[in-house]
Amino acid sequence: MRLRYSPTSPYVRKVSVSAIELGLAERIERIPTDTLDPNSGLAEHNPLAKVPALILEGGEVLYDSPVICEYLDSLHDGAKIFPPAGPERWTALRQQALGDGILDAAILRMLETLRRPEALRWRGWIDKQTGKVTRALDRLEAEAEALEGPLTIGQITVGCALGYLDFRFADDKWRAGRADLAAWYEDFAGRPSMQETAP
């Protein structure tokens, strides 16, 4: 398998953490990709020209981190990060959706503030994305106990989302007023898979 990746993409980090946790990292060749380069060939693998994109042995390409992570989870016989059925599955998928939503909003904010000239920045758009992140973090704080237990895709996604906030928006101090979530993340961020994939 070959993975088109960018080293600072939190969605790539999610795939990389999953691969390490599942014991599959050695089976994946990593192809560094500049998503802003129209000559990178990325659009030939993913028409959305986004990473991650996982190229399978037969040439088929999987894209978007939820799909890639679930595929990786199908390749081993150990404990699954996607619980098979029941309440645990829906909790993990909901946590994954919330973590991905934080990333979506944070990246939109980053593009507006770090990539767009200051005179062209839209304050209302920035505030809207910041509000999404704030509400999601408050929900995670209220449900921090649900992040405990066997490793799931929900925990991995939330962990990568919080790591991305530290990477891009450290001045926001997301831990303030969220002691339970901060304590969970401090423990989770110490996992070797998180340490190895830190941007």
Residue 98 is assigned to a structural domain of this protein: yes
Q: Residue 113: CB partners within 8 Å, gap ≥ 6? A: 121, 126
Residue 82 is assigned to a structural domain of this protein: no
Residue 170 in this model has a pLDDT that exceeds 90: yes
Residue 114 in this model has a pLDDT that exceeds 90: no
Q: Which residue has the higher pLDDT, 99 or 114?
A: 99
Q: Do 68 and 95 have their domain in common?
A: no
Q: Do 116 and 180 have their domain in common?
A: yes
Domain end residue (candidates: 31, 46, 73)? 73
The predicted-structure confidence for 5-58, as pLDDT tens digits, reads as follows: 999 999 999 999 999 999 999 999 999 999 989 899 999 999 999 999 999 999
User: In Å, how far are 53, 108, 164 from 80, measured between CA atoms?
Assistant: 21, 31, 24
Domain that holds residue 132: 87-197
Q: Do 152 and 190 have their domain in common?
A: yes
Q: Do 11 and 94 have their domain in common?
A: no
Q: How far is CA 62 from the centre of its chain?
A: 16
Domain end residue (candidates: 17, 38, 73)? 73
Split into its structural domains, the chain has a count of 2
Q: Do 6 and 103 have their domain in common?
A: no
CATH code at position 6: 3.40.30.10
- pLDDT grade for 177, boundaries at 50, 70 and 90: very high
Cβ neighbours of 147 (radius 10 Å): 20
Q: Do 67 and 93 have their domain in common?
A: no
Region 148-167 average pLDDT: 98
The predicted-structure confidence for 65-88, as pLDDT tens digits, reads as follows: 999 999 999 999 999 999 998 999
Residue 79 is assigned to a structural domain of this protein: no
Q: Do 54 and 124 have their domain in common?
A: no
Q: Do 66 and 102 have their domain in common?
A: no
Domain end residue (candidates: 25, 49, 73)? 73
Residue 123 is assigned to a structural domain of this protein: yes
Q: Do 94 and 168 have their domain in common?
A: yes
- Compute the residue count for the chain: 199
